[in-house]
Amino acid sequence: MKEEQFDMDPRYRQAAKEAWIGVGVFLLNIAWWAGFAYGLGMGPPEKYTYIFGFPAWFFWSVIGGFVVFSGVIWLVVRYLYRDMPLDADADQTQPGD
């Protein structure tokens, strides 16, 4: 493909947008994990609180983070990502349009 086609094809803009959204969600997940793991887990183990038998720092950073970010990913894919043809010769119209 010529370089001009990369600028004109909306699939590349959408793919770049989706990639940056994925990086943003990843960074938020890491911040969530580090904040709870290091924030609640810095004290002595004798002072830990427990949720369902897990230390609170582990529960919120790992288990809670998994639940929350599973929902975040579902929302992102549902509302921000677009289904589009990936074939080079594909018609630009969506099926069913």
pLDDT (tens digit, 9 = 90+) per residue, 36-90?
999 988 989 999 999 999 999 999 999 999 999 999 999 999 999 999 887 876 5
**The residue type at 79:** Y
Q: What pLDDT does residue 49 have? A: 94
Distance CA 1, CA 4 (A): 8
Tokens of 28: 């938020």
Q: What pLDDT does residue 90 have? A: 59
Place of tokens 């589009």: 84
Question: Angle at CA 11, nearest 5°, toward 27 and 4?
Answer: 115
User: Which range among 2-6, 30-34, 86-90, 92-96 has the greatest average pLDDT?
Assistant: 30-34
pLDDT of 7 above 80: no
